[in-house]
Structure 1
Amino acid sequence: MTDSPCTRSDGDPRELPGFRRTYAPGRLTLGLGFPLRTGADGDEICDADAQAQVAQAAEAGGFAALYARDIPLRVPSFGDVGQVYDPWVFLTYMAAHTSRIALGTAGIVLPVRHPLHVAKSAASLDRLSGGRFLLGLASGDRPEEFRAFGLEQGGRGERFRENVRVLTHAMTTEMRGIRWSAGWMHSADVVPKPSASSVPTIMIGSCQQSVAYLAAHGDGWMTYPRDFDAQRRTVVRWREMVAAAGATGDDGDDGEVFKPFAQSLQIDLADDPDETASPINFGFRIGRRRLVDHLEDLRGIGVNHVQLGLGACRRPVREVIDELAEHVVPRFPSLD
């Protein structure tokens, strides 16, 4: 690690506090997605101060991480305003109001953003949060956004790969030029540099790439919930691709390179702790005891982290978080 914001470090990003709090071989931890609100909460819960207070409750309750989405434009046809505040500004605000919990993006829509701006913002948030930042990257899925930025949605996979190359170069080198289809950086540099060799990078969704690409270029992968057997096969495929990529990092118990596998899960936490799961979009309505059973099953197939979404809950968010913190998180605590 390095103390100078203008000097490149050789440190392992997976040794930074945010990564270490969230991911470890054979373990499963829990995160929450912003906005921290449910259908039972009033509009005042969207206030930044109110969100900071809920974030502090999540940190005190032992959750490993909090995630902000990157939604540049409000698109009513999607039925989800999502993240209202700019994720870089919002997470910096949250970093100032918390001290231990990891803060991630899930994920920055890289094809519509300039990679040099992303490099500067990610390294800045890494530095200002004390190494708690997890850089989630995505390829985006809202056609209106691509049109607004003058881009073809069909080319987002290729643009994602190119921007990853430029982003990685900007974070991991000093005063070395690079040329790409949209620009040329010469006799210039992006600062600050991350506090390690790069910012921990989590690939979100498919990113319009192969699993092999995600394993080679990311420090982890967060995907979507699937049928249990399908998710088991996806975890196995991920582990195979991580091993084939020959990445470096902490070893798992079996001696293989460890890069975490994570997934999202929407829940509607029932009043009855024994209520069995019934499907909702991307998740379940479920009681807390059955949720614990489900999470233990996911841990058993190799899932390392689950980002819970609470938007579908019918109870106030503080009530839900308090119940999870008391009865669920202790079975899957953060790692610090």
Structure 2
Amino acid sequence: MSSPFSLSDAPVTSLPGFRRMFPRGRMTLGIALPLAAGDPENPGVGIARQVELVQQAEAGGFAAAWLRDIPLRVSDFGDVGQVWDPFTYAGYLAASTSEIALATGAVVLPVRHPLHLAKEAASIDHLSGGRFLLGLATGDRPTEYKAFGLEEGARGDVFREHLDVMNRAWTTENQGIRWSKGRMWGGDIVPKPLATRPPVLTVGSCLQPMEWHREHADAHVTYHRPLGTQQKYLAEWRADGVDKPFAMNIALDLHRDPEAEAGPIKFGWSVGAKALVRILHELEDMGVDHCLLGLKRGSRPADEVLGELIEHVVPEFEATACS
């Protein structure tokens, strides 16, 4: 492992978390936390049980556990998220697991200080042994923007500027950084990442054109769309010869009948295990590299669904250890 005080020239693609999630040539699966279903505003988030389920997912062949970042509980939004701060939680999970990738899906970049965030991400990068991937977004809750002193219309510009500050903090030593809201001179951010930077995943539009994503992201994550529409979106991501990984989120209500055909729910499907495997193979053939499964909209206990996924679905897309 490299020194926390030394710059690295290793590519992000060499990190074990990136390689576990994106082995290329085949698709992997991830699971969203909390592993709870039925009431997104009051999910079951007991740490001990959640860690047990993440360990079960790791042993069962899931490539990644995804941690959401919802800074404030907004009662009229109807989804409190995973409750725990994603970086504190990722550190806890890093000590409780050994192979599964840990990804944020996604940190609301414009409401966080870029120097704090650069230090937090590089710290989890080291503590997890290179299993951390930093998913970033602009957020979708206006209450949060006001609470953190951010104008809603400025989010796109602030997103780009904060990412630029973080990149400079990760890739330079004792060099001044100036941006619209701050100036660092005579200081430095440590630890430095294990690679040139922690892998950066843009999640959703981030209020940027696709050309910007292709240039600045190490991978791109989007939400579920009808297959034909998703294929067109994927083609746009892969334009100009870009071959970076592509991931998508699927809300899942796994039917008790494994033969049940797919029916739509918000951002995903109610579907039996056999039909789900067929859909996932279609996405794999389309060029999707990773599917993140969210169980919060499901009608069955999440631990029960997780067990069935490990038994009937994950073996088709099983991740392997990447040291």
Q: Say whether residues 1:188 and 2:187 are aligned partners.
A: yes
Q: Report the equivalent of 2:245.
A: 260
Match of 1:301 in 2: 286
Deviation at 1:10, TM superposition (A): 0.5
Q: CA deviation at 1:40?
A: 8.6
Counterpart AA for 1:267? L
Amino acid paired to 2:97: T
- Alpha-carbon distance between aligned partners in 2 of 1:120 and 1:40, rounded to the nearest angstrom: 34
CA-to-partner distance for each residue in 1:38-73, whole Å, 9 max, x for gaps? 2299x7941111110110010011000001111010
C-alpha distance 179-308 of structure 1, shift in aligned 2 (>3 A): same
> Which residue pairs with 1:76 in the alignment?
75
Deviation at residue 187 of structure 1 after TM alignment: 1.3
Distance 1:109 1:44, change over 3 A: closer
Please name the residue that 2:218 is paired with: 219
- Measured in 2, the distance between the counterparts of 1:196 and 1:258 equals 20
Cα separation, 1, equivalents of 2:225 and 2:83: 28
The one-letter code matched in structure 1 to 2:100 is: I
**TM-score normalized with structure 1 length:** 0.93
Is 2:249 aligned against 1:273? no
How many equivalent pairs are there?
320
Alignment of 1:17-28 (within 5 A): 17-28=16-27
The 5-angstrom pairing of residues 59-138 of structure 1 reads: 59-138=58-137
Structure 2 counterpart of 1:325, from 301, 310, 315: 310
| TM-superposed deviation, 1:133 | 0.1
Aligned to 2:168: 169
Percent identical: 51
Q: CA deviation at 1:104?
A: 0.5
Q: Is the 8 A contact 2:34 2:81 kept in 1?
A: yes
- Deviation digits for residues 78-119 of structure 1 (CA, Å, limit 9, x no counterpart): 100012111100111111111100000001100000000110
Counterpart residue identity of residue 310, structure 1: L
How far does the alpha carbon of each residue in 1:239-280 deviate from its partner, in whole angstroms, 9 at most, with x for none?
Answer: 114x3xxxxxxxxxxxxx631000000010000001111111
Whether the 8 Å CA contact 1:65–1:102 is kept in 2: the answer is: yes
Equivalent residues of 2:36, 2:43 under 8 A apart: no
- What is the identity, as a one-letter code, of the residue corresponding to 2:192? K
* Structure 1 match to 2:269: 284
For residue 207 of structure 2, what is the aligned residue in structure 1? 208
Report if aligned partners of 1:267, 1:309 keep a CA contact under 8 Å in 2.
yes
Aligned partners of 1:335 and 1:114: how far apart in 2? 35
What residue identity is the alignment partner of 1:161? R
Q: Give the whole-Å Cα distance in 2 for the aligned partners of 1:48 and 1:208.
A: 34
CA distances 1:187-240 after superposition (whole Å, capped 9, x unpaired): 110000111111011110000001111111110000011111111111111111
Quick one: structure 1 residues 44 and 145, their matched pair in 2 at CA, closer, same or farther if it must change by over 3 Å? Answer: closer
Is 1:203–1:220's contact at 8 Å kept on the other side of the alignment? yes
**How far, CA to CA, are the matches of 2:235 and 2:249 in structure 1?**
18
Quote the residue 1:250 is aligned against.
none
- Measure the CA separation in 2 of the matches of 1:82 and 1:324: 22
- 1:142 maps to what in 2? 141
- Which sections of structure 1, spanning at least 5 residues, go unmatched? 244-256
